[in-house]
Structure 1
Amino acid sequence: MMLDDIGSFPLPKGITREWVERNLHTKEYEEMVQRAFLMKAKVLDVPTYPQFRDMIEMFMQPIKANQVEPYLIDERKAVIPELEYVEKMSVEAVRVCITGPFELYYREFGGVIYEDILLNLAESVRRFVENAAKHENVVCISIDEPSLGIAPDLQPDEELLQKALDYKVKQDVQIHLHEPLYYEKILETSVDVIGIECAKKPENMDFIDAEAVASAEKKLRIGVARSDIDGIIAEFNALHGVNAWGNEELISLAIDEIEPVEKIAERISKAKERFGDLLAYIGPDCGLFSFPSQELALQLLENVRKAVREG
């Protein structure tokens, strides 16, 4: 069982996403990525390159700019700058997060699926996956599909899922789902590890049939710490009659009170008890970009690490 994170991370103070887009290929941004990755690496077993950019645009923009067919990227251009910056350092383990074909398609076209376009997007994602897999220290490549199981008008059938989510790399291929609705269909794909958010909604664990996962020879990634910082702050405010918004000292207290080490450890114990050896990865439910600062995001990650030690 390895501790990872989904990917997104707060920007340093004074930096905006617009600045990032303007400075994507500068030394200053490269060093910013490297510093954030090293912060994560002190706490996590398999840290993801820090995802500072919009999850759709950071893949859709290069796909559109370098397409050899509609929505099919030139394989030489299917590279992630942040991963390349991390690879310039001597690091043991890296997790890669790539926005999945259904998420890219849904944001671009909505729920009516034109299979030829979707499969071109799927091949583009596959090219990002294969280029990332060339790095020896890449342990896991995660396909981020938050809308599967949430968007009522996105209903791909089993055959299309198998075609779109077909990967042949030596690394673990995860899929990150917010809800477990599609996990049984994912069992029939080549995805190795199915990730489900279970901290904010612990009942999601009850939807997962361990025997079915084992029979399909898959593993699980379970979210054991809440990442909805706005919800955490709101609960803290309601409990204490305070206004913690904008006050990092109070927000730090809120994280430790609403998501304490003991509560996270209980979720880990429940996941271990329910899934045993099927549990390959744990970490926060989702990305941490919405946290007010990198230090506060790191605090949550440190709480998860402490909870692992307690378990």
Structure 2
Amino acid sequence: MPPETRIFDQPQPLVERMIMNVEKVIVGKRETIEHAFIAMLSGGHLLLEDVPGVGKTMLVRALARTIGCEFKRIQCTPDLLPSDVTGVSVFNTKTGDFEFRPGPLMTPIVLADECNRTSPKTQSAFLEAMEEKRVTVDGVGYELPKPFVLLATQNPVDYEGTYALPEAQMDRFMMRLSLGYPSPEQEILMLDRLQDRQPLEHLKPVIVQDEFVQLQKEAALVHVDNTLKEFIVRLAVATRDHSDLYLGASPRASYALMRAAQTSAYMKGRSFVVPDDIKNLVLPLWTHRLILTSEARMTGKSAELILTALIASLQAPVLRYVSAN
């Protein structure tokens, strides 16, 4: 089938069903769920950072069940070894050869639960898989399945027993999201749903694995005007030159923003990206990639405030053909 062929002429109803399916488990967090699907359909990885008990793991499990892919969980602990994640070669005495026994990372949907509780050595085992969609064990490379999405959760780094993720790994996460506490009304609704059953146990897939891969391919076909690409680069350069930022947005961050904007437009039924697709996604895609100077942190500044000011100061391009349609 040619890559230009589209199966889902109207993806909005299917995407809406996927979102509503997750909402059966996660109450009152529609924007977070939408952003999660944007990251996954863009081929990116997702980091959920929040305090314990707000539903991070439950959200990840609901996302995996909704798209009907095989799912495995890695419970990150201080004694977790890289081979526990990627797999290991074992000598077979009958054949006289080494056989590769794949680890949980060789699965389409992987949950790395509390990923910042494991050691930096094991955290680095995720880097190759996240970027190149492959793992190397004993000098032999193994391709990961399609799709491959790493959904990681972590508690704030000031909690006891946590390790800060390295900058290289943070940059490989397309988005960092936070669920936050529910409102009192949402929490009461959650208690009603959990009173006599676990909604996650009754959650059914909305699509299958091949359909999800097709959605990813079609989202990548959405047109991005050159003026919008220039706008993304201008915004990235502005972060690199900002006096309050020690580390600005990388070229990987620019690419991630373009891909996420394509997916956002696709989920809304458009075949082209508009400036709002980009501006609405800058914060969830870039805040975790920026590092503030010590002086900026001391004065109470944040990556969110800096990015918001930069978006307001840079004039977004006007796409003439959009109004013509």
Q: TM-score, length-normalised on structure 2?
A: 0.28
Question: Larger Cα Rg: Structure 1 or Structure 2?
Answer: 2
